[in-house]
C-alpha cells in the first residue's frame, strides 16, 4: 500500500523548483529584448531595485523590525 511513498514525497521539492523556475523564465522572457538598449536596461534595473527597496521598507515597517 505504501510502496514508494517516500520516493514520491522526495519528488515534490524538485517539482516545486521546476514550477518556480518556469514562472520566473516566463516572466523575464518578454523583458529580454529591452536589455539590448542601455537606456531601457538601466531603467528596468532601476525599477527592480526600487521595487525591492519598497517591499523591504514596507515589510520592515509592517513587522516593526528595527534597522539595526
Unique residue bearing C-alpha cell 539590448:
36
pLDDT at residue 67, as a whole number: 67
Give pLDDT tens digits for 14-63.
999 999 999 999 999 998 999 999 999 999 999 999 999 999 999 999 99
**Residue 4: its pLDDT value, please?**
86
pLDDT for res 66: 78
pLDDT band at 2 (very low <50, low <70, confident <90, very high): confident
pLDDT of residue 8: 87
The helix (run of H) or strand (run of E) holding residue 63 is helix 38-63
Q: Which long-range contacts (CB under 8 A, 24 or more apart) does 60-67 make?
A: none
Could you tell me the residue ranges of all domains in the chain?
5-63
Q: Is the dihedral of CA 55, 50, 41, 34 positive or negative?
A: positive
Amino acid at each position: 500500500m505504501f510502496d514508494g511513498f517516500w520516493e514520491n514525497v522526495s519528488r515534490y521539492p524538485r517539482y516545486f523548483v521546476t514550477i518556480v523556475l518556469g514562472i520566473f523564465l516566463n516572466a523575464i522572457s518578454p523583458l529580454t529584448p529591452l536589455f539590448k538598449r542601455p537606456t531601457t536596461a538601466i531603467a528596468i534595473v532601476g525599477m527592480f531595485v526600487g521595487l525591492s527597496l519598497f517591499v523591504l521598507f514596507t515589510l520592515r515597517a509592517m513587522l516593526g523590525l528595527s534597522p539595526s
